[in-house]
Amino acid sequence: MTENLLFIKDINFKKGSKVFIRCDFNTPMDEFQNITDDRRIRSALATIKYCLDEGCSVILTSHLGRPKNGYEEKFSLEPIAKRLSRLLNKDVIFVKDIIGEMAKKAVSELKTGEILLLENLRFEKGETKNDENFAKELANFADYYINDAFGVCHRAHASVHAITKFFDDEHKCAGFLLKKEIEFASNLIKHPARPFVAVVGGSKVSGKLQALKNLLPKVDKLIIGGGMAFTFIKALGYEIGNSLLEEDLIDEALKVLEKGKELGVKIYLPVDAIVAPYLSNDTVMKYVPIQEMPKDWMGLDIGPASVTLFKEALDSAQTIWWNGPMGVFEIDKFSRGSFRMSHFIAESPATTVIGGGDTADVVARAGDKDEVTFISTGGGASLELIEGKELPGVKVLIREEKN
């Protein structure tokens, strides 16, 4: 997939040009707009510095969160500009505008070597609608277009999709981060060192069913934890109390288990759980074997026996792909299973790939983020790559074959 990807290193940048870089600065912030994890900003630095070294100026854009109706302070990119400036040790000009007069003026005054950050793209309705007029206004700002926002490539939005129509193959490309993300996911699927173990969790089978189906013929072992495991456990005929259940997917869950057997893939499900009558930090809780789930309680984390079992299954792994927490890790009481899995995966000598989103958050909170091989910056996009889907934002950066 990456052979024909238009890549930043193949572009002949003319000195003094302006480069539009679509970044993913969708960073988590606390209630005071303090950035709590700047991994996504750091991940964009290589592409930004490269363009500056090529003698260009850069116009950076991103979305942040999901603003509904235009400007909202809590979704402003202003804190990003400050952090970026500190990380680059360089001024970053910030305008509270996207395609209006202020933005146009700032772009026209931008000098070689300078960095400009525009306001949150999603303050403009055209962004999520993939609006061509909006995309054209953005495209008019620059001579070159670079996409380094892997986290949004599974969405056909104006700044990753429609905008590419306004640049030819010599003037648009993927940045370093985007290429690295795609390469990691496709190498993982194509040439994993074996045994290859996939660990999936999280709340919904429906969100990961396609990935499970695509992974089954490729993996040696599959570990299923988190809320989604209960649909499988129910499918095997056990009582699961009030645990998460997707009743309409019980048959699909059985099919996955049968297919695994047919293919010789070893599938591991939790053998015990931490259960509570309701979801809260101050509820009572207890450990139970999976055969003894109390009727009105719900399973909110994997238990210690499952932790040991999963550790043994991981011991021989040479490649591990992890997507989805083992329990409700956001609540301390139910975070142990996810954190211990994070430690095992971090300590493993295997190539370890974390599928972004919540799982990246687990690994960060567990203090393991420097110990894993690769943490994807995009949860949804990374999952779609594993599902074998073509990402709209990547498809438009594939070199056109000339006859």
Annotated binding site for ATP: 208, 299, 330, 356-359
H or E stretch including 315? helix 304-315
Stretches 48-56, 80-88, 167-175, 198-206: which one binds ligand AMP (CB under 6 A)?
A: 198-206
Using CA atoms, how far apart are residues 123 and 62, in angstroms rounded to an integer? Answer: 11
CB nearer to ligand AMP: give 79 or 355. Answer: 355
Residue 319, CA distances (Å) to 195, 284, 293, 353, 369 in order: 6, 37, 33, 8, 17
CB nearer to ligand AMP: give 96 or 204. Answer: 204
From 388, 396, 337, 1, select the one nearest 210 (Cα to Cα): 388
Stretches 29-37, 92-100, 106-114, 201-209: which one binds ligand AMP (CB under 6 A)?
A: 201-209
Q: Which two tokens stand for residue 322?
A: 């992890």
Residue 218, classed as helix, strand or coil, is: coil
Stretches 37-45, 80-88, 131-139, 203-211: which one binds ligand AMP (CB under 6 A)?
A: 203-211
For residue 398, how many C-alpha atoms fall within 13 Å in the half-sphere facing its CB? 12
Residue 380 in contact with ligand AMP, rule: CB under 6 A: no
Residue 325 in contact with ligand AMP, rule: CB under 6 A: yes
CB nearer to ligand AMP: give 162 or 244. Answer: 244
CB nearer to ligand AMP: give 52 or 235. Answer: 235
Residue for token pair 């889907």? 389
Stretches 20-28, 30-38, 88-96, 326-334: which one binds ligand AMP (CB under 6 A)?
A: 326-334
Residue 240, classed as helix, strand or coil, is: coil
Indicate the pairing of strand 286-289 with strand 18-22. unpaired
Q: Write out the binding residues for ligand AMP, residues 234-293 only, by CB under 6 A.
A: 244
24, 65 in Cβ contact below 8 A?
A: no
Using CA atoms, how far apart are residues 42 and 132, in angstroms rounded to an integer? Answer: 30
Residue 358 in contact with ligand AMP, rule: CB under 6 A: yes
Instruction: State the DSSP string of 280-306.
Output: STTS--EEEEGGG--TT-EEEEE-HHH
Residue 381 in contact with ligand AMP, rule: CB under 6 A: no
Kindly report whether the peptide bond that precedes residue 79 is cis, defined as omega within 30 degrees of 0.
no
Nearest residue to ligand AMP by CB is: 202
Give the nearest distance from C-beta 223 to ligand AMP in angstroms. Answer: 14
Stretches 7-15, 113-121, 202-210, 234-242: which one binds ligand AMP (CB under 6 A)?
A: 202-210
Give the nearest distance from C-beta 78 to ligand AMP in angstroms. Answer: 28
Sequence ranges of the binding site for (2R)-3-phosphoglycerate: 40, 122, 155
From 248, 246, 255, select the one nearest 213 (Cα to Cα): 255
Residue 9 gets which letter from DSSP? G
Q: Would you name the residues annotated as active-site residues?
A: 40, 204, 357, 380
Q: Write out the binding residues for ligand AMP, residues 21-40 only, by CB under 6 A.
A: none
Give the nearest distance from C-beta 336 to ligand AMP in angstroms. Answer: 12
The count of other CB atoms within 10 Å of the CB of residue 288 is: 17
Residue 207 in contact with ligand AMP, rule: CB under 6 A: yes
Q: Exactly one of 327, 356, 378, 393 binds ligand AMP (CB under 6 A); which one?
A: 327
CB nearer to ligand AMP: give 126 or 226. Answer: 226
| Single-letter amino acid code for the residue at 61 | T
Q: Which two tokens stand for residue 126?
A: 């055209």
Residue 300 in contact with ligand AMP, rule: CB under 6 A: yes
Residue for token pair 């909170």? 365
Rounded to the nearest angstrom, the gap between the alpha carbon of residue 75 and the centroid of all alpha carbons in its chain is 19
CB nearer to ligand AMP: give 303 or 327. Answer: 327
CB nearer to ligand AMP: give 184 or 297. Answer: 297
Q: Write the burial class of residue 108 (CB in 10 Å: 0-12 exposed, 13-18 middle, 19+ buried).
A: exposed
Q: Exactly one of 39, 204, 343, 389 binds ligand AMP (CB under 6 A); which one?
A: 204
Binding-site ranges for ligand AMP (CB under 6 A): 202-204, 207, 226-227, 244, 299-300, 324-325, 327-328, 330, 358
